[in-house]
Structure 1
Amino acid sequence: MTATRVLVLNSGSSSLKYQLLDMRDSSRLAAGLVERIGEQTSRLKHTPLASGGDAREADGPIADHDAALKAVAQELSRDGLGLDSPDLAAIGHRVVHGGMFFTEPTVIDDAVIAEIERLIPVAPLHNPANLTGIRTARALRPDLPQVAVFDTAFHTTMPESAARYAIDPRIADRHRIRRYGFHGTSHAYVSRATAALLGRAPEDVNVIVLHLGNGASASAVRGGRCVDTSMGLTPLEGLVMGTRSGDLDPAVIFHLARVGGMSMDEIDTLLNKRSGLFGLCGDNDMREIRRRIDEGDEAAALAFDIYVHRLKKYIGAYYAVLGTVDAVAFTAGVGENAAPVREAAVAGLEGLGLAVDPERNAVRGDRPRIVSPDSARVAVAVVPTDEELEIATQTYALVGKNT
């Protein structure tokens, strides 16, 4: 019997997200989250989707990722979906940074782990946690194929003119400094789903993808291949985000160190955790910002305007990069749910063929949909992202034929 299930793991520093999918029809059999790993107040929430049962929650100390995955395995076993099942084809792991070495999903072995470790200096917050999940899963199922799917892989098709910073290439190469981009699984999935929404093949479509969550990034996708993206060496570059500044004059860092007397760690914290929408108005939840705007809050209004201004600049820039655009696709938490953001982002861009229909834009749903008028030259779409399905699809495509 052919194994058709894939377990997707997304390991954070103190969390473990997971989904179990059946790749015969891409259905979800179970999903859950372990959070606050390593604390006395750890929590596991497990939802048995295949049976339609109620979510189960358990509170109590979970010491480490090994204990977390064992607890997940126990919950799955209660539903007859255990890690020892012969139906399990592989485990797919989200890995944030793959550098230039990993350009596609990769079966994990010791050499792959060593290379992911070497990339820790350019992804110190993410790759260590991803490695912890990989090592834990390999220890539990050493006989099972484990696949790394990299956030950066989709962006490795960028030409050097887009990927290189204008600094001494010898220094850049020595320290692996270049624009890698992130959210690649989302950009890959959404660009293909947008083409399908238009009834066209991905290779025949140019799409600007706007992944707008607490972290936010844009990409220019020509014929299914990324040719530019807003995040760079790290996820700090680009759009205004929930707590990240996005694009910034590099001299601001020198100024804060020399004149402000701030340490590098303090500046890092400022730009990554205390900037963006949160730094501007004290909130990083777009729903709360819009509520405050409706009440006349000037700080929230300015934060929203700065957010939209940067977003609009990237739409225009990527329009220029692509030359012709078939669709602009909004995705992730803000992109999928904040109609005012979509409306404001394309306002004034009618000359580029962009507009939203107010009634269509106001409709909420979990299916891909067009929110631009029928007469618009460029489609404006809302396309819910599905990074777990993308990871599972890539994982199964790599190992499924051998199971």
Structure 2
Amino acid sequence: MSRVLCINPGSTSTKIAVFDDEAEVCAVTVRHPAEELAAFGRVAQQASFRRDLILDALAQAGFGLDTLDAVVGRGGLIRPVAGGTYLVDADLLDELRHPTGEHASNLGGILAVELAAAAHAAPRPNGPVPEPVEGAHGASTSSASGEITSTGRDGGQVQAFIVDPVVVDEFEPLARYSGHPEIERRSIFHALNQKAVARHDASDKGRRYEDLNLIVAHLGGGISVGAHRRGRVIDVNNALDGDGPFAPERAGGLPTASWAKLVLSGRYTPAETRRLLAGRGGLASLLGTSDAREAEARATAGDEQARLALDAMAYQVAKEIGSAAAVLAGDVDAIVLTGGLAHDHAFVAAITACVSFIADVVTYPGEDEMPALRDGALRVLRGIEPAKLFADEVLLR
């Protein structure tokens, strides 16, 4: 049996879960009031604060660090890498501390390392604590590879991982092109959940993810539609910066000239302009709410504006799925819908009516990030796939 601690840092909370193999044996959400986080200038500075709260939560739940085999955190805004499970070595740790953008997910790998180090310092039921070799945050470090590890409960190593960060980039060359040489299309999407549900669908079919062509649509506060060809996401809309379908909180792709005119109008500051794309776009701007459940309730009660906005969002998702089908040359084994909006039967039905001619449509509502993190660690612990190293995989552009 392998015991894995999963960590998912969010802007106002840190979710943790302990798994014995696939069985969840502990789940805790630690809330962080805004006034507490306001004391920190940068996200990375919150690491020790959140680590101590996690240690307290685990102690209260009765779980000792000496029982762990691995710690896995959500990946952050590092430079682009291929999908997979990454060992948090010195190179990746430095990248997470100096990321390409500020986001709570940057803490995932940092916290994983700090808790692996704490596991190293914990009393051992099988003998004394070995003397550490100083590395990042006091974790034991292999001088040959920079690997940050600790001694686990059976004398093995407690390793720190991240899995499928949002910057997973498996684009083929043509997917990177835009119509201007100074603007390249970027791969930023819900990689963790998309890859997890794609593997789930393949398993349900008795197939390997690497043998299938799938279109996966993550339907949440942001929407991403990915073309998965034999285990690689070869094209996907940028769900962070404003590309593809509009979403509850995202404006999606906008007519370029009209957008440029709005930006140059002087009505908005740069920060406000950014928020128009992500945070206050989509349903938030059209209906005054980013809560799709509220929008659906209004539509059901006869609000025509709400009904049209939801229908337009479904229409744009379906159109993006059609584009992904073209990328796969029509060779599509299934269309997979996931995320919170996949709970909305009317929304799913509207999409399905437009795209079912392409392939069967299957739904996996919600997003199970903790099991996805767990599975990434277990694939390495069980020898199904090797842990990747950031320095070997980073795309330098």
TM-score over 0.5 for the pair: yes
Q: Do 1:240 and 1:247's aligned partners in 2 also have CA atoms closer than 8 Å?
A: yes
Task: Choose the corresponding residue for 2:111, options 133, 138, 157.
Answer: 133
- Residues 200 and 278 of structure 1: is their aligned pair in 2 closer, same or farther, counting only changes over 3 Å? same
- Residues 278 and 89 of structure 1: is their aligned pair in 2 closer, same or farther, counting only changes over 3 Å? same
Structure 2: segments with no counterpart, 5+ residues: 39-44, 120-138, 140-149, 151-157, 387-397
Question: Using the alignment, how far apart are the partners of 2:46 and 2:169 within structure 1?
Answer: 33
| Structural RMSD (CA) | 2.9
Question: Using the alignment, how far apart are the partners of 1:278 and 1:184 within structure 2?
Answer: 24
- Residues 102 and 342 of structure 1: is their aligned pair in 2 closer, same or farther, counting only changes over 3 Å? closer
Which residue in 1 is equivalent to 2:307? Answer: 301
Question: Using the alignment, how far apart are the partners of 2:350 and 2:314 within structure 1?
Answer: 7
Percent identical across equivalent pairs? 27
Which residue in 2 is equivalent to 1:150? Answer: 164
Is 1:35 the counterpart of 2:51? The answer is no
Is 1:312 the counterpart of 2:293? The answer is no
Which residue in 1 is equivalent to 2:374? Answer: 392
Q: Do 1:37 and 1:68's aligned partners in 2 also have CA atoms closer than 8 Å?
A: no
Task: Choose the corresponding residue for 1:74, options 56, 59, 76.
Answer: 56
Cα distance, 1:166 vs. partner? 3.8
The alignment covers a number of residue pairs equal to 340
Cα distance, 1:211 vs. partner? 1.0
Which residue in 2 is equivalent to 1:267? Answer: 273
Question: Using the alignment, how far apart are the partners of 1:307 and 1:251 within structure 2?
Answer: 22
Can you list the C-alpha shifts for 1:348-403, whole angstroms capped at 9, x where unaligned? 446x25xxxxxxxxxxxxxxxxxxxxxxxx3211124432222122223335669x
Residues 108-257 of structure 1 mapped to structure 2, 5 A cutoff = 108-120=88-100, 123-126=101-104, 128-130=106-108, 133-134=111-112, 136-137=114-115, 140-141=118-119, 142=139, 143=150, 144-152=158-166, 155-168=168-181, 171=182, 178-231=185-238, 234-257=240-263
Question: Using the alignment, how far apart are the partners of 1:238 and 1:89 within structure 2?
Answer: 40
- Residues 398 and 217 of structure 1: is their aligned pair in 2 closer, same or farther, counting only changes over 3 Å? same
Residue identity in the other structure for 1:150: D
Question: Using the alignment, how far apart are the partners of 2:261 and 2:230 within structure 1?
Answer: 42
Q: Do 1:119 and 1:127's aligned partners in 2 also have CA atoms closer than 8 Å?
A: no
State TM-score, norm by structure 1. Answer: 0.75
Question: Using the alignment, how far apart are the partners of 1:137 and 1:254 within structure 2?
Answer: 46
Question: Using the alignment, how far apart are the partners of 1:37 and 1:13 within structure 2?
Answer: 10
Cα distance, 1:295 vs. partner? 1.5
Cα distance, 1:101 vs. partner? 4.2
Residue identity in the other structure for 1:133: L
Question: Using the alignment, how far apart are the partners of 2:82 and 2:93 within structure 1?
Answer: 12
Cα distance, 1:308 vs. partner? 1.0
Residue identity in the other structure for 1:298: E
Question: Using the alignment, how far apart are the partners of 1:245 and 1:398 within structure 2?
Answer: 38
Runs of at least 4 residues off by over 6 Å = none
Residue identity in the other structure for 2:215: I
| Matched residue SS, 1:228 | strand
Structure 1: segments with no counterpart, 5+ residues: 43-62, 354-377
Task: Choose the corresponding residue for 1:383, options 343, 354, 364.
Answer: 364
State TM-score, norm by structure 2. Answer: 0.76
Which residue in 1 is equivalent to 2:14? Answer: 16
